[in-house]
Structures are given as C-alpha cells and as structure tokens.
Amino acid sequence: MRIFIKKSERIGLAVMERENIPEIYAMINDPDVNRFLRNPSSIWYLSGEYEWYDNLCRDANRNRVFPVINLETDQLLGLIGLHNIDFKNGFATVGYMYGKTFWGNGFATEALKLLMDYSFNVLNLRKLIASVFDSNIASKKVLENNGFNIIGKYTKHSYAPDAGYQDEILFEFMNTNYHYPDS
C-alpha cells in the first residue's frame, strides 16, 4: 500500500518504502541519469542504497525524499526531495531525478509543484534553493517552469564525466505567502 503526502491528477509523492530501493538503485546507476548529479563518478552499491534509506528514516527532520508515482500505472517515475532542511531559517535544497524512459512528459515539473505545495503549506518553509549544472537544460526548465529565479552561479564548479568542469547555476524561490511573525 502506498501512502501519499501530495497528489495531482497524474502523480503522487509517496512515503518511501524499503522495497522501492532496487528501482532507485537501477535508476541512479544509469550514467545518463547520474551525470548531472553531485558525485557522477560514484558507484552506488545496493547495500549503500539500503543504508541511505535507513538514514533517511532516522533523519526525517533533515532530509525528506519521496518517490514520484504515476497514479495511473503505479510506476515509480523518480525521486524528489528536500535536503538539508533548516527549520530555524525556513529553507531547504531541492533535488530530483527520474528514470530515462519517463523524461519529457512534464512529470518533473509537476512533481516540483507538489513539493513546493508541501514545503510551503505543510512544512511552513519560506524558501527553496537549488543548484544545477548550466548544461542541464531540462532541469533548469523544471525550476523556471515553477517560478524559481537565478540568483548567481559558481564558475567551472563541478566535474561532469565527458563534459569537464561545469558552471553551476544557483536558483531560489521565495514563498511570498509566508507570514513573518514580526510583520
């Protein structure tokens, strides 16, 4: 049984289960998926993925990662999550990845919309941030489609296999509906 924290008509953000790990393991070891991620030269071992899951369960106040589920087919399309959640200052970093066969269907854009709803209306965060390799056109679009603004870049910051050092573009989204206690 899947438990959802947010749903649209097509997709839902689900609570991660241990049995989701083999699919995630296959996804993250696909070079086309991991080349834009933080440590593209890693090898993600299955046992390491289970450890990551156990840490996620222990550490829900710091990191919350959700499988994105196609509600029609029940397929796990990818993951989206909040990392380094800072409840005191009200912000978190967004991250996501999807299986290659699901790209280009608007799922990533739609899932980020759901995550923003969850972040602002459930967790009462003020701001979301993200950083993306400049060459990752699709990911930049996902953020721009959801109203994120570019606030700067790190030049030749991160190494991507076969592409060399990449500029990293920094994005943020301010929740303008947030009510500051002193205003």
Which residues would be at the binding site for ligand COA (CB under 6 A)?
33, 36-37, 78, 96-98, 103-109, 132, 136-139, 141-142, 145
Q: Which CB, 77 or 125, lies closer to ligand COA?
A: 77
Nearer residue to ligand COA within complex by CB, 22 or 104: 104
Task: Rank residues 85 and 143 by Cβ distance to ligand COA and give the closer one.
Answer: 143
How many Cα atoms are found within 13 Å in the side-chain-facing hemisphere of 96? 30
| Closest approach of ligand COA to the CB of residue 163, in Å | 13
Quote the least distance from Cβ 182 to ligand COA, whole Å. 34
DSSP lists the bridge partners of residue 165 as: 159
Least distance (Å) between residue 48 CB and ligand COA: 18
Q: Are 33 and 27 in contact (CB under 8 A)?
A: yes
Decide whether 32 or 182 has the Cβ nearer to ligand COA: 32
Torsion of CA 26, 31, 37, 39, to 10 degrees: 90
Shortest spacing between CB 57 and ligand COA, in angstroms = 23
